[in-house]
Amino acid sequence: MNQYDIIIIGAGPGGLTAGIYAGRQGTKNLILDRDLAGGLGREVPEMENYPGFDKISGLELIDKMKEQATKNCDLHEMENVEEITKTDNEYRFSVKTNKDTYFSKTIILATGSSHRHLNVKGEEEFKGKGVSYCATCDGFFFADRDIVMVGGGNSALQEALYLNNLGANVTLIHRRNEFRAQKHLQEMIKKEGIKTILNATIEEIKGNMLVESVLLKDTETGKLTNLPTNGVFISVGYIPHTHLACQLGVKLDETGHIVIDKSQKTNIDHVYAIGDVCIGLKQWIVACGEGAVAATSAFEDIQN
């Protein structure tokens, strides 16, 4: 019978860290992920704020974490969790996937998030034809070409710098009058001479077979202008994946994120949550810290 002490759903930075800590505590643990380990962390082109590394790509760091995690727990990639139900025995939860059914005393939700879309005309039509949500995945195809990067947070500026380093001619577009990103990223944008357009939104993405231009709207004047471009990279936030949490009756806040306490506990006994699916700072190192806390909380609750 597939019985575990802790099942971790999601193999991003937080989920992998939870697996490392859970295994080192002597419990039997399983990480399940519907995709490859790493989640959106695989798309980070270059980090300069992760302790211990001056610079490291998300993919490289994930590979290191995955190798460490699999020494401490089972990891099943490409296995989608379809349903979680409560049971009446020691193994309180039944976890049904597209491949098997597992039972666990505790659940750690590390289900992450997905890219938020602009929801403008042409976005779906030109997805994969000039519209992208991943600079690491698609940036190579836009060397020496004109592109726009949409967003004002850390991820948008990091990806704009990455695309610029690949040789793309980048224009950074943000709907507000200033960026939300960390100051050093803003300074790097200026240093690299990357063009910026503030107080502007994209109203439409235009083209024939491929993207050819975007229709911009000035948020102050309402004026519309057409900006020629070969590509549109979008980084405007994320949508938390809470389907499984809702199945279990886990409480969400007004933004749709899971509410947790300082021990990463949800309102449902023996269910914990970590990473981007929770309220709080969306940073790699925060997810890792939450993973360590959740695994420790789960271990302590199992002992009681």
Position 299 scores a pLDDT of: 96
Position 46 scores a pLDDT of: 80
Residue with tokens 């200033």: 178
> For residues 95 and 185, what is the distance between their CA atoms, to the nearest angstrom?
42
Give yes or no for a contact between 35 and 77, defined as CB atoms under 8 angstroms apart: yes
Over the stretch 256-298, which tens digit does the pLDDT of each residue have?
A: 999 999 999 999 999 999 999 998 877 899 999 999 999 999 9
User: Average pLDDT over the chain, rounded to whole?
Assistant: 94
Active-site pick, 35, 134, 146, 218: 134
Strand-pair category, 200-207 with 211-218: antiparallel
> For residues 274 and 287, what is the distance between their CA atoms, to the nearest angstrom?
6
Is 288 marked active-site?
Answer: no
- Name which CATH class applies to 3-114+238-303: alpha beta
3-state secondary structure of 33: coil
Q: How far is CA 266 from the centre of its chain?
A: 20
Active-site pick, 33, 73, 88, 137: 137
Is 137 marked active-site?
Answer: yes
**Is 67 buried (19+), middle (13-18) or exposed (0-12) by CB count in 10 A?**
exposed
Strand-pair category, 113-115 with 131-132: unpaired
For residue 1, pLDDT beyond 80 = no
What predicted TM-score, i.e. pTM, was given to this entire model?
Answer: 0.81
Assigned architecture for domain 117-234: 3-Layer(bba) Sandwich (3.50)
Q: Do the domains 3-114+238-303 and 117-234 sit in the same CATH topology, yes or no?
A: yes
Is 73 marked active-site?
Answer: no
Give yes or no for a contact between 31 and 54, defined as CB atoms under 8 angstroms apart: no
Domain boundaries, the chain: 3-114+238-303, 117-234
3-state secondary structure of 288: helix
Active-site pick, 63, 138, 218, 301: 138
Residue 19 dihedral angles phi and psi, to the nearest 5°: -65, -40
How confident is residue 3, by pLDDT bands cut at 50, 70 and 90?
A: very high
Position 137 scores a pLDDT of: 82
